[in-house]
Amino acid sequence: MKLVFLFSLCILFILAVLILGKRRDATRLLGGNKQAFSPLKIAHRGAAGYCPENTMAAFKKAMDLGVDFIEIDVQLSKDGKLVVIHDPTLERTTNGSGNVRDYDLCELRELDAGSWFHPHFKGEKIPVFEELLEIILPHAGILIELKHPAFYPGIERKLAMEIMNHNLHVGSSHLLMIQSFDIDSVKRFHALLPSLPSGVLIKRPLGVSHKKLSELSSFASFINLKQTMMTLKRKKKIHSYGMKAFTWTVNNEKKIDRFEMMKLDGVTTDYPDLFTKKNERKEVD
């Protein structure tokens, strides 16, 4: 009986390790995990180096490459639906023209969001945020960027309500994070859903002054610096205020190596397989 009991315990332990290790989620943003770890691997607008950005094709490719999080951009349609697209206008990534906010969801969904990248992706649609919750979350977390929130009064509440409707704001395992260049927008979202990790995107040195970091630390869980700004000194400075340090958008294997050596908390890339290639090279060495 003892042997059976011990064998059962071993099986349970192995299953627990497999389940817990399946995805490194955002819990460590808040928890202060002291064990060694590699940065969160974050796919920029999906695997945007291989597929048209912010489309299902890009998200599926990112999931196939085993990312921890997928970064997306959300804006509002004319009829108040959360749609996933980077620009406030349609010309660059669709066959449409004009402002996203001037079209209702049905009209936006009729546009081709893939052909601009390659004819192979003809027919890709502008995704709706809600559908991503079912498609992505079983496989990876979602890092949501509030894009041009000043164009969309109330977008923070709209996003918060969508998250609450799916009961994704509770529990200790955070599968969603939000970020924005707009500090006031991040503040508003944090006031609505303080349980979710929120961060500020920064691309200018004044954004990491002691005064600014002290202010941001009152509501932000992480700072996401442009890669050309990120240094070991700045990483330590951000950590000293109790926040995690991310960087964007890193599409060079040597730079990824550098940021891993720096022990950053998250790295965003258009080419998530750069992490895999680096690890394969190490195994060969």
Q: Is the pLDDT of residue 31 over 60?
A: no
Going 138 to 87 to 49 to 126, the CA torsion angle's sign is positive
* pLDDT of 63: 97
44 catalytic, yes or no? Answer: yes
Q: Which amino acid is at 82?
A: L
285: Cα separation from own chain's centroid = 31
User: For 22-31, what is the mean pLDDT?
Assistant: 47
Confidence of residue 35 (pLDDT cuts 50, 70, 90): very low
Pick from 144, 108, 140: nearest CA to 127 = 108
Question: From CA 90, how far away is CA 105, in angstroms rounded?
Answer: 13
In a domain, 9, yes or no: no
**Contact present, 103 and 96 (Cβ < 8 Å):** yes
- Please provide the average confidence, as pLDDT, over all residues in the chain: 88
In a domain, 2, yes or no: no
Domain that holds residue 208: 35-284
Q: Which neighbouring-strand residues pair with 266?
A: 40, 246
Judge residue 132's burial from the number of C-beta atoms within 10 Å of its C-beta, 0-12 exposed, 13-18 middle, 19 or more buried. buried
244: Cα separation from own chain's centroid = 14
Total domain count for the chain? 1
Q: What is the pLDDT of residues 151-200, one digit of tens each?
A: 999 999 999 999 999 999 887 567 999 999 999 999 999 999 999 999 99
262 HSE (CA, 13 A, CB side): 24
* pLDDT of 182: 98
* pLDDT of 180: 98
* pLDDT of 173: 60
86 catalytic, yes or no? Answer: yes
Q: Is the pLDDT of residue 285 over 70?
A: no
Residue 228 sits at φ, ψ, to 5 deg, of -70, -15
In a domain, 222, yes or no: yes
CATH number at residue 240: 3.20.20.190
* pLDDT of 33: 47
* pLDDT of 249: 98
In a domain, 60, yes or no: yes
Residue 11 sits at φ, ψ, to 5 deg, of -60, -45
In a domain, 29, yes or no: no
In a domain, 91, yes or no: yes
In a domain, 280, yes or no: yes
Question: From CA 46, how far away is CA 24, in angstroms rounded?
Answer: 17
User: For 258-273, what is the mean pLDDT?
Assistant: 97
User: For 92-118, what is the mean pLDDT?
Assistant: 98
Lowest model confidence (mean pLDDT) among 14-18, 34-38, 158-162: 14-18
Phi/psi-derived region of residue 154, left when phi > 0, alpha when psi is between -120 and 50, beta in every other case: left
Q: Is the pLDDT of residue 21 over 70?
A: no
In a domain, 114, yes or no: yes
DSSP assignment string, 19-48: HHHS---THHHHH---S--PPEEEEETTTT
